[in-house]
Amino acid sequence: MRLSAPSSKCRVPPRCSDDAYKALIARIMEFYTTALFNPHWGEQIVFRPGNLLAINMLFQGIDQEQAEVAWRPFLDC
């Protein structure tokens, strides 16, 4: 079994409101349910103080290219 681990941290710029952070939370939760809630993905999405979103995910059963394709809709916006 091969596990790979992309990770990322997204912070809403300080000039943005808490509403922007709430929108980011809604967006990642929708993305997770439509693209990542399956046997290929696991680990953590963490919401932290200071409007920080930390993503630590593992994938298995797909290759790096497939993983990048899965994340593209979230990262391209």
User: Starting from the edge strand earliest in sequence, which strands make up the sheet with 41-48, in order?
Assistant: 7-11, 52-59, 41-48
> Quick check: is 2 in a domain?
no
**Count of structural domains, the chain:** 1
- For the entire predicted model, the pTM comes to 0.78
User: Domain limits at 52?
Assistant: 7-75
Integer Cα distance of 41 and 57 in angstroms: 7
Residue 76 pLDDT > 90: no
Q: What is the pLDDT of residue 17?
A: 82
Partners of 7 in beta bridges: 56
Share of the chain above pLDDT 90, in %: 36
3-class DSSP state for residue 15? Answer: coil
Q: What is the pLDDT of residue 21?
A: 87
> Quick check: is 1 in a domain?
no
